Structure 1
Amino acid sequence: MGQGKEVKTRADPQVEIQERGEIFFFYRPKVNKEEAHSINDVQKLYIVMRPESGENPIEEKQDPLSGNEESHKDSEASSSSGGHGVEKVNIKEQILLRFIVMGKKSLPDPSKKSQPFWGFVEMVTKNAEHVKTALKGEEYETKTRGHRHKPPARAVGEGIYRILRHKPTPTRKHHTHLVYKLEFPSQTGEHEPQESLNIEPEGSFLIQIRNPEQGAGGGGGRGRGKGSGFGGLKRKRKAQFPAHLQAHLGHTRFGAADPPDFLNYEGCEFLLISASDDIEGELGIELEPDGGSDESTCDLLKIFGDDVEATPLLRGTWD
């Protein structure tokens, strides 16, 4: 499929493209449920982003010795280096994957534009095997409930995305959008799990990065408490941005995802706020995926293979 392309539908759409790439959606059924038949059976919603080009083809990510990518090799280095180590990645030549956990088990409802949904970056890696491991199931024992089964995640959407800088005006402050358009499941047929999880055929969200040096935990601020899934990470799990990125946030609690490199640091917390399910009408651009609806063009299957159950993605049904 690739990163697709965008077409301007207005002479001056007032947006600047910061990053292009592919986006994948997954859900995990609840513990001890091998299948999900409704959103009530869903435990977690995950997003995987693969940036492929942007304003700068060289992006910064957290140094592997300070994150999950190499932590199994050198845990002592991981704990001592903090989050400030920086690695340069050419996203045109190297695969880079962000594994994101949403606080709610759906995307924000596009009809409700005032309530943010919280999420955080769990992992940033150049190795797809690490994401495959995160999506797998697990058997474990607990003292109170005995043997437990965490089922594997299911793929539920594949498409292209853009992170956009919406140009400021006298009535509009500097902000950024995350917009996407699905290629799988196809436009025809069923879309029951996608509709239940608010994964629309296309969507636009304001994306705001949480300043790890301001405030503590969730709550506080309009729409940022109960109902948003905004629990906040514990201090030791929060992102530690290098000084030049942290400077972009200043003393604000939330700032624009500008540059998108913020999302390349594990523990980066953010808010998604519904803006529209009509990208062209809102922003003056139209996203066009490269491939067709044939399964042979599905990049998710090429990257993750048989390690992920893909019936919801390809058929638009729960299982």
Structure 2
Amino acid sequence: MPSGTHEQPAPEKADQEMTETEPEKPGDTQTEKVNGEAPEAKEDKIPNKVESTEKEREKDAEAKGAETEPAESQKDETKPAEPEAPESKKEDVKPAETNGNAVEPGSREDDVPSTILEKGVIYFFFRSRVNVDHPEDVNDVARSYMVMRPIPLDAKLGDGPIGDEGNCRLLALPKKVLPKSGKDKFVTFVEKCKTSFANLKESFMTGSEYETKTAGTKHTPPVTPLAEGVYAITSTGRESHLAYIINIPAEIGELQKDFGLKQRGSFVTSVKNPEQPPLGNQNVPPGPEYPQDIIDEFRGLRWKPLEPKFLDYDHAQFLMIGEDYDKATEQRPKDERENKAAPEEEMDKLEGEDEIRIKHLKGDDAVFTDLGISSQEFPKVSTTW
């Protein structure tokens, strides 16, 4: 576990992307939902009124005799058509409510390993330097990023895109590459937490142009998707780990390897106490505004094993140290005694479900489908520069 004595490379100076995010507008989604449900509530009452009217007519028909039966029969044949319209409208609303969400909560049995603190889908991106539309190596990259989309621990992945729950995290990697071994110790920042795919598209993914007095118009390229996969934050008690498995591309290439990605990889992770001063000459944003109960958990120490709750604050900082994938997926003796699945087994299940989901979403285009963007607006997933 990292301590205050670890030497850590100072993150590079934050680029302009660190200030690009915009405030979310959660109210828009809520308004749409209310407006969508109101007509349905009114329509539910219509069938009840029709049924009541028909019963009264039947009683009148019995009292008047058989001569009125044909007339009443004709009315009966035409009236039931009225309540059918509300029923068809209900069916049209249902797909909008589900939002095509592939996440199926409650589908796992209660044998989820206690070592897994969080799991979900992870995306990797990079942004080229200003005016560089065709990068040739990492030197042409301004910043790389990870986007975490957590899902419930008892959930499985079914068909369709990942629903937009507004719980994504945008993480910035100032070093641009991921740690490859225990010698690499890189700090990562939470640039934006609890954000939506829609907000990421508007404030992070798109490119922009701006004017300068000396160089004229400058162009900031849109982000380039690097990879997609599944992840888990695990704990062995004394250490925390971030493990991942890549599904897009099916086989990583030169491009992914240059960024430190592996088909299966993991890191030892420790979150930084914001009350401790930054290491070296780091130019970092203000620390996260943790509540006092979280601050107290550090007990005055500089570092603490990472837990998901620490990542739900903007500007949270955590250290990643390269390691072997197997170390992040070790099973605790307690889980073994209780016949719970090993962390590696749960990761394999999630990987398999995500792989099937991707195939049904036209392969690599699943990245764009999940994020709700057009594949024509952004570079394709590639394995070479």
Are residue 269 (structure 1) and residue 317 (structure 2) matched?
Answer: yes
| Paired position in structure 1 for 2:369 | 302
| Paired position in structure 2 for 1:181 | 245
Q: Is the 8 A contact 1:2 1:299 kept in 2?
A: no
Structure 1 distance, partners of 2:153, 2:296, is: 21
Cα deviation for residue 250 of structure 1 reads 2.1
Q: Is the 8 A contact 2:241 2:266 kept in 1?
A: yes
Q: Is the 8 A contact 1:108 1:273 kept in 2?
A: yes
SS in 2 for 1:239: coil
Q: Is the 8 A contact 2:243 2:328 kept in 1?
A: no
| Paired position in structure 2 for 1:87 | none
Cα deviation for residue 114 of structure 1 reads 2.5
Cα deviation for residue 100 of structure 1 reads 0.8
- Of the three residues 214, 217, 232, the one matched with 1:147 is 217
Matches within 5 A, 1:120-135: 120-133=189-202, 134-135=204-205
SS in 2 for 1:240: coil
- Of the three residues 284, 307, 328, the one matched with 1:233 is 284
Cα deviation for residue 300 of structure 1 reads 2.3
Are residue 218 (structure 1) and residue 279 (structure 2) matched?
Answer: yes
Structure 1 distance, partners of 2:142, 2:193, is: 22
Are residue 136 (structure 1) and residue 187 (structure 2) matched?
Answer: no
Q: TM-score, normalised by structure 2?
A: 0.59
How has the CA–CA distance of structure 1 residues 2 and 46 changed in structure 2, closer, same or farther, with 3 Å as cutoff?
A: farther
Q: Is the 8 A contact 2:270 2:306 kept in 1?
A: yes
SS in 1 for 2:256: helix
In structure 2, the gaps of 5 or more residues are 1-100, 105-112, 155-161, 332-341
How has the CA–CA distance of structure 1 residues 145 and 159 changed in structure 2, closer, same or farther, with 3 Å as cutoff?
A: same
SS in 1 for 2:289: coil
Q: Which amino acid is the alignment partner of residue 114 of structure 1?
A: K
How has the CA–CA distance of structure 1 residues 93 and 45 changed in structure 2, closer, same or farther, with 3 Å as cutoff?
A: closer
How has the CA–CA distance of structure 1 residues 103 and 93 changed in structure 2, closer, same or farther, with 3 Å as cutoff?
A: closer
Structure 1 distance, partners of 2:210, 2:189, is: 25
Structure 2 distance, partners of 1:98, 1:153, is: 16
Q: Is the 8 A contact 2:244 2:264 kept in 1?
A: yes
Deviations 1:87-123 (A, max 9, x none): xxxx9993411011101111112xx313311110111
Q: Is the 8 A contact 1:179 1:279 kept in 2?
A: no
Structure 2 distance, partners of 1:17, 1:47, is: 19
| Paired position in structure 2 for 1:39 | 138
Structure with higher RCO (Cα < 8 A, 6+ apart): 1
Cα deviation for residue 245 of structure 1 reads 1.6
Q: Which runs of 4+ in 1 moved over 4 A?
A: 1-4, 277-284
Matches within 5 A, 1:69-218: 94-109=165-180, 112-133=181-202, 134-167=204-237, 174-187=238-251, 191-215=253-277, 217-218=278-279
Structure 1 distance, partners of 2:325, 2:214, is: 44
Cα deviation for residue 3 of structure 1 reads 7.4
How has the CA–CA distance of structure 1 residues 141 and 282 changed in structure 2, closer, same or farther, with 3 Å as cutoff?
A: farther
Cα deviation for residue 310 of structure 1 reads 4.7
How has the CA–CA distance of structure 1 residues 249 and 280 changed in structure 2, closer, same or farther, with 3 Å as cutoff?
A: closer
Q: Please report the RMSD computed on the Cα atoms of aligned residues, expressed in angstroms.
A: 3.0
Cα deviation for residue 51 of structure 1 reads 0.7
Q: Which deviates the most, 289-298 or 196-205? A: 289-298
How has the CA–CA distance of structure 1 residues 310 and 125 changed in structure 2, closer, same or farther, with 3 Å as cutoff?
A: farther
| Paired position in structure 1 for 2:383 | 316
Structure 2 distance, partners of 1:164, 1:105, is: 24
Q: Is the 8 A contact 1:202 1:279 kept in 2?
A: no
How has the CA–CA distance of structure 1 residues 127 and 250 changed in structure 2, closer, same or farther, with 3 Å as cutoff?
A: same
- Of the three residues 233, 242, 256, the one matched with 2:305 is 256
Structure 2 distance, partners of 1:156, 1:279, is: 25
Cα deviation for residue 52 of structure 1 reads 0.6
Structure 2 distance, partners of 1:2, 1:184, is: 17
| Paired position in structure 2 for 1:7 | none
In structure 1, the gaps of 5 or more residues are 5-13, 56-90, 168-173, 220-224, 226-230
